[in-house]
Amino acid sequence: MSIRLGDTAPDFKAETTKGPINFHEWIGDGWAMLFSHPKDFTPVCTTELGYMARIEPEFTKRNCKIIGLSVDPVESHLRWEKDIEATQGAAVGYPMIGDPELAVAKLYEMLPAEEPNTSEGRTPVTNQTVRTVFVIGPDKKIKLHLTYPMSTGRNFNEILRVLDSIQLTLAHKVSTPANWNNGEEVIIPAALSEEEAKAKYPDGVRVVNAYLRYVAQPGS
C-alpha cells in the first residue's frame, strides 16, 4: 500500500547530523517537513539544502521543524555541509538523516522494497525517486506528499505557501483558491449555508454563485 494523505507518518529511529532521533518524538506536538534528496555532493541538491538553510526561520515561525534525508551516511552529510555553506552562503542548522541501509527511504516508499539494502555504489540516477517532501501535522498524519524529478530543484516557497494553507484551513475550516497567498481571500466551504456563512462572517461574504463564496482571510 502506498503512503497517502491522512495516513500516519511511519515512525523510525535514525542517526542524524544532530545525533540519534526517534522521529515521532522528535516531531513533538508541532509540525515537521521531511525532505529527501538523491545524493550528497550533487549540484541541484546543494542548492536545495542551502536554500532551506536560509529559509529555515520561516518554517520555525510556523512551528514546523525541518529534517533532510539521503541514503548517504551521516559522515558524508557532515562533509557536504561545508560545501553547502561555502557555495550557498548559509550554514545547515537542521538535522540530516543518514540512511545508508535505505531503511527510511523504503519505509516512506521512496525506493522499491527489492532494492539492495545498501547505499554502496548507488548514483543519483538509482536514487532519483528520492526527491520527496512530506509535511506532517502534530497528529503525526501526512498532510502533503510531493515527489519531484531528479533534475528539478524544489520550490520551497511553494511548500511554505501550502503549509500556510493547511494550517489556516485546519484552524478556520476554510479552503484556499488557486494561486492563493497568505493574506488573500479564502473560500467558504459549500456545506455552510448562506445564512450560516453570513452569521459566521458578519463583515461580508463575496458571493460568486451558490457554491463559490469568498471571505477575507480569518485573522489577517
Residues known to be catalytic: 45
Contact 177, 189 (CB under 8 A): no
d(CA 160, CA 49): 15
Strands of 72-205, DSSP E: 96-98, 132-136, 142-147, 186-187
d(CA 158, CA 66): 15
d(CA 176, CA 109): 29
Grid coordinates 540516477 are at which residue?
125
d(CA 198, CA 35): 41
Pairing relationship of beta strands 31-36 and 64-70 according to DSSP bridges: parallel
Pairing relationship of beta strands 96-98 and 13-16 according to DSSP bridges: antiparallel
d(CA 193, CA 185): 19
